[in-house]
Amino acid sequence: MKPGGQHIALAQAYDGITRVVADLDDVDLQRPTRCQGWLVADLLFHVLCDAQRALVTLASPADGPPDVNSVSYWRSFPPGGRAGGGNAWWVRRSAAAFERPSGVVRLWCDTAPAAVRAAGAAVHNADPQGYVTTQGRIIGVPDLLATLTTEAVVHHLDLVVDLPDAPVPGAVATDVAVATLAGLLSGHAVRPNGWDDREFLLKATGRIPLTAGDRRDLGEAAGWFPLLG
């Protein structure tokens, strides 16, 4: 991707989520998502925490070399890890602490653009190949932005499962998420030809199950699914 491309992808990913939630009323913010037990407001709060972490991380330079990149970063968070249930409970309780679900939207609409501006400054005004630290890891700035974009795109798809008229993730952001999942699959198999980008993202993250035909096409690599939780 060209210099600055990861910033553009993150901006598109976060703007896509904003376009989904900005005009939802409190009833629609309590619709279900693909994330078990999470309503739209709960999942939005989870992505909001990611945007807040981005602000902290982009202000946390580190000496290189990095110990993860945009693909290997995810191997620190295996699907179904023990922390998942506790985090899910904490997110639900935190989101419920707002007086109304729309309070999460207001905070997201303040925070997401700030994270995108910080990303732009990191890419354009500082060393674009600089390193930062997050969650005990050292990662390059472009790779950090790719991880944030990937999570945002996947959760965008989670958000809209019960919102049929909502916009879909943008093409540039989707390409980054697809590249991430392809990187996790690399060395084990290739993406089946019949999968479009959306199907690949949903199946690779365990949102929808593999069919018998998928398992036949993937062979032994089917056992690696989901690639990302």
For the chain, the C-alpha Rg in angstroms (whole number) is 17
User: What pLDDT, on the 0 to 100 scale, is given for residue 186?
Assistant: 87
Q: Give the integer Cα–Cα distance in Å for 135 and 21.
A: 28
Q: What is the mean pLDDT of residues 187-208?
A: 92
User: What pLDDT, on the 0 to 100 scale, is given for residue 158?
Assistant: 98
User: What pLDDT, on the 0 to 100 scale, is given for residue 82?
Assistant: 43
Q: What is the pLDDT of residues 85-127, one digit of tens each?
A: 668 889 999 999 999 999 999 999 999 999 999 999 988 765 6
> Using CB atoms within 10 A of its CB, is residue 206 exposed (0-12), middle (13-18) or buried (19+)?
middle
- Which residue segment(s) compose the domain that 85 sits in? 5-224
Mean pLDDT lowest among 10-24, 75-89, 94-108, 171-185: 75-89
Q: Give the integer Cα–Cα distance in Å for 10 and 147.
A: 9
On the question of pLDDT at 3 being above 80, the answer is no
Counting the structural domains of the chain, the total is 1
Going by pLDDT thresholds of 50, 70 and 90, the confidence category of residue 83 is very low
Q: What is the mean pLDDT of residues 60-72?
A: 94
CATH of the domain at 48: 1.20.120.450
Name the 3-class secondary structure at 77. coil
Report which of 208, 195, 204 is spatially closest to residue 222, judged by C-alpha positions: 204
> Using CB atoms within 10 A of its CB, is residue 117 exposed (0-12), middle (13-18) or buried (19+)?
middle
Q: What is the pLDDT of residues 45-58, one digit of tens each?
A: 999 999 999 999 99
Report which of 172, 173, 153, 139 is spatially closest to residue 71, judged by C-alpha positions: 139
Mean pLDDT lowest among 14-23, 38-47, 82-91: 82-91
Mean pLDDT lowest among 12-26, 66-80, 169-183: 66-80
pTM metric for this prediction: 0.94
Going by pLDDT thresholds of 50, 70 and 90, the confidence category of residue 190 is confident
Mean pLDDT lowest among 16-20, 96-100, 121-125, 209-213: 121-125
User: Per the domain annotation, does 106 fall within a domain?
Assistant: yes
Instruction: Tell how strand 61-62 and strand 131-134 pair up.
Output: antiparallel
Q: Give the integer Cα–Cα distance in Å for 112 and 45.
A: 11
User: Per the domain annotation, does 215 fall within a domain?
Assistant: yes
Q: Give the integer Cα–Cα distance in Å for 116 and 166.
A: 22
Burial 131-156 (b: 16+ CB within 10 A, else e): bbbbeebbbbbbbbbbbbbbbbbbbb
Q: What is the mean pLDDT of residues 143-159?
A: 97
Q: What is the mean pLDDT of residues 34-47?
A: 96
Q: Give the integer Cα–Cα distance in Å for 73 and 142.
A: 13
Q: Give the integer Cα–Cα distance in Å for 183 and 124.
A: 26
User: What pLDDT, on the 0 to 100 scale, is given for residue 156?
Assistant: 98
Contact 32, 91 (CB under 8 A): no
On the question of pLDDT at 78 being above 80, the answer is no
Q: Give the integer Cα–Cα distance in Å for 68 and 193.
A: 29
What is the helix (H) or strand (E) element at residue 198, kind and residue range?
helix 197-204
Contact 42, 92 (CB under 8 A): yes
Going by pLDDT thresholds of 50, 70 and 90, the confidence category of residue 15 is very high
User: Per the domain annotation, does 229 fall within a domain?
Assistant: no
